[in-house]
A = this chain, B = another copy of it.
Amino acid sequence: MLGRVNHVAIAVPDLAAATAAYNTTLGAKVTAPQALPEHGVTVVFVELPNTKIELLEPLGEGSPIAAFLAKNASGGIHHICYEVEDIIAARDELKKNGARVLGDGEPKIGAHNKPVLFLHPKDFFGTLIELEQV
């Protein structure tokens, strides 16, 4: 079921400073910031040869990463996104195996305009897993 690692997401309190750390200090290519008000985040991508790192800063009220940053004030690794071919088939197979899908269980359109789902971190040893249909 699991395909490529599409991205690893890191929540940060200060996107400009994090961009500088990845660009200047670590010498990686970082994209321009994109505000995604419908997702409650501003994102940049650190582009690496085989995958990407998504740096996330909260945007607006009720950001989905606000609680995480309240617990991890300096930031931290937030989730891993894996690609799947068929998100409905993946969801149904996971549910059959007892894994819990967050929210109402229906795929949402994610930050890359593709259908995504999140799996409950308690079912995967504390790791929040995003599945993205590609």
Of all chain B residues, the one with the shortest Cβ separation from A76 is B126
Any chain B CB within 8 A of the CB of A72?
A: yes
A-B contact pairs, 27 of them (CB 8 A): A1-B26, A1-B28, A2-B27, A2-B28, A2-B46, A3-B49, A4-B49, A5-B5, A5-B48, A5-B50, A8-B8, A8-B77, A10-B125, A10-B126, A10-B127, A17-B125, A21-B123, A25-B97, A25-B123, A26-B82, A26-B94, A51-B51, A76-B125, A76-B126, A76-B127, A77-B126, A77-B127
Chain B residues with CB under 8 A of A58:
none
Count A interface residues, CB 8 Å: 46
Given A24-B97, A50-B50, A77-B80, A125 contacting B18 (CB threshold 8 A): yes
Of all chain B residues, the one with the shortest Cβ separation from A5 is B51
Chain B residues with CB under 8 A of A44:
none
Q: Interface readout for A62-97 with B: 1 if CB under 8 Å, 0 if not?
A: 000000000010111100101000000000011001
